[in-house]
Amino acid sequence: MDDLNERAALEVMGWSEDYKGKRHRVSQEDWDPLHNIAHAWLLVEEMRKKPRIKRHKFDQLLRTTYIAQNGDSPFYESFTTWLHPAAICRAAVSACEK
């Protein structure tokens, strides 16, 4: 992993502290402008390496977030690009909680 990606991964891990135990963190006030979509994609890539049950929970949390905002059922690639990085981070943290 190059230095830029390593820094981004550490930054993403740092965000998780803000989201632990929080179930609904998708309002405009909760979005941190420092959350970069490119960094959030690193988190998505990490989630793809997780056990199947955690990947499924992550997927369902993203779907629920998207549908709550748009009232429609999306395809995976289209809705993950729509979601704000903070919502992606929150879904990942929630999916990994026991």
pLDDT per residue of the chain (98 residues) written in tens, 0 to 9: 455 555 555 555 555 555 555 544 444 445 554 556 666 777 788 888 888 988 888 888 877 776 555 555 444 444 444 566 777 777 887 888 76
pLDDT at 67: 56
Do 90 and 44 touch, CB atoms closer than 8 A?
A: no
pLDDT of residue 98: 64
Residue 26 pLDDT: 47
CA–CA separation, 8 and 14 (whole Å) = 10
- Give the pLDDT of residue 78: 45
Residue 43 has a CB neighbour count (10 Å cut-off) of 23
Q: Residue ranges per domain, the chain?
A: 3-96
| pLDDT score, position 97 | 76
